[in-house]
Amino acid sequence: MKETEKKRSAHAGSVKSRREVLRTGALLAGGLAVGALSGCTGGENKNDLPVEKSRAPLGRWDKEYDVIVVGSGFAGMAAAIEARKTGASVLVVDKMPVFGGNSTINGGAFAVAGSPLQEKEGVKDSVDLMVQDMLKAGRGLNHMGLLKIVAAGTRGAYEFTLEHGVKFKPFLQHFGGHSVPRTLQTTISSGAGIVRPLRKSAANLGVAFRNRCKFEDFILDENDAVIGIRVKDRYEFPNEESGEFREFRAKRGVVMCSGGFSQDRRFRMMQNPRLDERVDSTNHPGATAESMQAMFGVGASPVQIDLIQLGPWSSPDEKGFGMVSQFNTIAGFPMGIMVDVRTGKRFVNELGDRKERAEAILTRQDETGKPVYPVVFCTAKGAEKAQTLKACLKYNVAWKFDTIADLAKHFGMPVEGLEEQVAMYNEAVKTGEDKQFGKPMGRAIPLDKAPFYAVRCWPKVHYTMGGVEIDTHGHVMHMRTGKPIEGLFAAGEVTGGPHGASRLGSCAVAETLVIGRIAGRNAGKRSA
C-alpha cells in the first residue's frame, strides 16, 4: 500500500497539446526578448519546442500532480477530497508509516453551531454565539476573519462528514467553555471515526497516498511561486539518515496540513523555555516543526507561535494522552477535587479553562524544580460515567481507596490537611458556592462516600495555537509583502489565528475540516 493511484492515460501530463505549444510560442514572441531570440533561430520549428516557464530543467520531476497535500489528518483529508472534486490529480504525503497524524488519535469531538441534533433538542445556538465563546477562550487574540469563517462553516463541514460516512453519537455534549451544548462525538470516541472514512473516500475518488514520504522543502520558480516539493521517500521516522530525495511537481498548489509542533522540544522551548523534558506531550511522535519552519523559510508570516496549550488533565504515569485524561475530564475535575500532596489543599478551580489549570499545576514544584504531582480524586458516584476508569485501575495509573486517610497515606499527604479540605469542599457543595476558587458547583457532588478513585496529574503539551498566517481562502501570506505566496496553501494546526490564546475544546476538528476544505478547493481551482 505504498501508493494507491488510479491509472492515468499515457497522454495526461506527458504531451503538450498543440494549443498549449502555440500559446506558449505566442507569449514568447509577443512579450519576451528570449522569445524573440528563439523566434529568430529555426523559426519554422519554434512552435514544436517544449518550453517551460520554470527554473526546473526538463525531465526533472520524479512525480507530477496538480495538488500535493502534506499531512493526512482532518485538514489533509478534507483538502484532498475537495481538491480532487475540482478535477485535480491529488497526492497526499505523510512522513509517518501510518496515516492520520494527531487527528486519528484525538477524542473525535466536533463543535457544530446549528446542528440538526441541536434543533431536535431545542438548543438555541448560533454562529455568533460560537464566535463569542471562542473569542472568550482565546482572550480576544483570535484573528476575526478566520474565526468567523470557522464558526460559519461548521454546519457545512458536519454535512461533509456525513456525506463521507462518518457516524456520531445520538446526543449532544457540553464541553467546557461553550455556552451551550454543541459538541458532537464520533461513535467510537476517536478522531479515527472521521479520518478513516475520509481517507477511504479520498482513495475511492482517486487520491494517491504515499506514506513514509517526508516533506523536506519547497521548490520555487523564478517568481518565488511554489511549484513543487522536495521529499525523502522511503523515509523511516525518526531516522534522519533514511530515505532518498525526490522532487514532486505540484502544478496548481501545495496544501500544508502538517499539524503542530507539540513533540518538538527544541522548537517549543524556543517559544516557552518552561516546556522542557519535564513536560511530556499528548501528541503522536511526528508532531514536529520542520514543515512550519520550511514555510517560514519561503517567507510565510508567523502568527502567535508562542501560544502553546497544555492539556491539564493528563497523567505522569502513562504516555501521551493516555486514559487518565478522560477520567479527569468526565469525573475527577467536575465531580472531585485536585490537591497538592504536600498540604492536602486545593490550589485552583478544577473547571477553569485549560490555560488557567495547566499553569496552576505547573507551579507545583519542589525547591529544586522537580515536579510534585498533584492528586485528583472523586467518589464512585462521581466516576460513574468515566469509561476509562476500569482500564486505569488495571494498568495502575489510578488507585482505589476505602477511606480518605488511606488515600492520603498512599500519596504521602498529611491526613489532617486533606480531611479538612474535604470538609470545606463538601460545605461548598452544600451551599452551592466555592469561596476558595470560584468553581461552578452545578455538577459537583460531596466527597462523602467510599470508595474513592484517585489519579496523579501533570499537564502535557497538547496544541500549538500559533503557526503560519493564512487568509480566508487558505492562502499562506508572505510576511514582507502581505500578499499570498503563490501556489502555497495551508490548513489546520500548522496555521495560526483562529484560536487566539487558548483553543476551546472540540474546536480543532471544526477548524481543520472547515479551512481544510477551503484550502483544498482553492488549490484545486488555481490555474497552473
Partner 1 sequence: MKKHTAILCALMLAVSFGSFLAPSFADGGQQGTSPKVAHVPGVTENLKVWMNSKLGKPTVKEYHRKVHQNGTNCELCHGAVNPTKAPDDRNCLKCHGTREQVAQLTADLDHNPHNSPHYGIDAPCTTCHKEHQESTVYCNTCHPFKYKNFKK
Residues that bind partner 1 (CB under 8 A): 1-2, 97-100, 104-105, 188, 190, 192, 196, 211-212, 234, 236, 242, 244, 284-285, 318-322, 395, 397
DSSP 8-state assignment for residue 397:
S
Q: Is the Cβ of residue 243 or residue 467 nearer to partner 1 in the bound state?
A: 243
Give the Cα separation of 328 and 322 in Å (integer): 11
Nearest CA to 462 out of 344, 361, 336 is that of 361
Give the Cα separation of 112 and 50 in Å (integer): 51
DSSP 8-state assignment for residue 54:
S
Residue 354 annotated as catalytic: yes
Q: Is the Cβ of residue 2 or residue 449 nearer to partner 1 in the bound state?
A: 2
Contact predicate 506/499, CB 8 Å: no
CB of 495 to partner 1, least distance (A): 24
Contact predicate 438/287, CB 8 Å: no
Composition of the chain by helix, strand, coil, percent to 5: 35, 20, 45
Give the Cα separation of 389 and 383 in Å (integer): 8
Q: Is the Cβ of residue 214 or residue 284 nearer to partner 1 in the bound state?
A: 284
Q: Is the Cβ of residue 321 or residue 377 nearer to partner 1 in the bound state?
A: 321
CB of 243 to partner 1, least distance (A): 9
- Distances in whole angstroms, Cα of residue 37 to Cα of each of 30, 40, 49: 11, 5, 13
DSSP result, 317-347: TSSSSTTHHHHIIIIIHHHSEEE-TTTS-B-
Give the Cα separation of 479 and 469 in Å (integer): 8
Nearest CA to 117 out of 155, 85, 153 is that of 155
CB of 320 to partner 1, least distance (A): 4
CB of 98 to partner 1, least distance (A): 5
- Type of residue numbered 400: K
CB of 99 to partner 1, least distance (A): 7
CB of 369 to partner 1, least distance (A): 27
Catalytic pick from 84, 210, 354, 364?
354
Q: Is the Cβ of residue 196 or residue 251 nearer to partner 1 in the bound state?
A: 196
Using a 10 angstrom Cβ sphere, with 0-12 exposed, 13-18 middle and 19 or more buried, the burial of residue 242 is middle
DSSP result, 480-505: TT-SEEEEEEE-GGGB-SSSTTSPPT
State which H helix or E strand residue 472 sits in. Answer: none
CB of 265 to partner 1, least distance (A): 15
Q: Is the Cβ of residue 104 or residue 118 nearer to partner 1 in the bound state?
A: 104
CB of 502 to partner 1, least distance (A): 23
Contact predicate 284/98, CB 8 Å: no
Q: Is the Cβ of residue 49 or residue 98 nearer to partner 1 in the bound state?
A: 98
DSSP 8-state assignment for residue 44:
G
Q: Is the Cβ of residue 117 or residue 205 nearer to partner 1 in the bound state?
A: 205
Enzyme catalytic residues? 354
